[in-house]
Amino acid sequence: MPEKILLVDDDPDFRQEIIDFLDGYEVIEASNGKEALNILKRANEICLVILDVMMPGLSGIDVLGEIKKTDPHLNIVILTGHSTKDIAIEALKAHADDFIEKPVKPEKVREIVDKAIQGGRNVKQIEIPGIKGKIEKVKWFIERNCFKKISLKEASCAVFLSSKYLSRVFKQHTGRSFS
C-alpha cells in the first residue's frame, strides 16, 4: 500500500504538477492551511506533509507550528517560491524536515520526498501476511493516531475490513476489545 502524502498549496495547477512527480505515493490535497489542519485532526495514515509557505489565511510556517504541536513526529517539507535564507531558517527552526524551492525540479522533489519518507519515524511496513498483518497494521494505526479519537470504522477502513469483522478478530488476536 502506498505511503500517504498531504500536499498543501493554494495553486491547483502546481499541486497537479507535484502529484505527477510523485507516482507510487497516494497524495491528498489541501488548498490552504485550515483545510490541511482539518485533515490532520482526523485519524489518518499520512506520513509526510509538503507545505507551501505563502498561502491565503494561515502561512505555511503557522501551519507547521500547529502540526508540530499536535503531531511532533510527522515529517514536513516546506515549499516556497521566496528563496530567502530567512524563510529557510524560520522553517528549520520550526522543525521542518527539509526545504524545496520553486520552481521545482522533478528529480529534486522525488529525492527529498523519498528521503523524508524512508528516514521518517512514521512509516511502518507491515510484512506479515493475512489477518495477523492486518491486526499489526491496526495497532500501528492506533499508535500513530494515539492523541486523536479513533473510531472502529476508521481503523477498519485502514485495513479494508468490515467494522464487525475487525472488532471480532482484533479481540481474538490481542485479547482486548478495540475500544
- pLDDT tens, residue by residue, 154-179: 888 888 889 898 888 888 888 888 88
Nearest-angstrom CA–CA distance, 116 and 74: 10
Going by C-alpha positions, the residue among 162, 149, 137, 179 that lies closest to residue 42 is 149
The residue-averaged pLDDT of 37-60 equals 89
Is the four-CA dihedral 50, 53, 54, 57 of positive or negative sign?
positive
DSSP letter for 104, please.
P
Q: What is the pLDDT of residue 123?
A: 44
Cα distances from 9 to residues 16, 107, 120, in angstroms, run: 10, 19, 22
Among 33-42, 116-125, 153-162, the range of highest mean pLDDT: 33-42
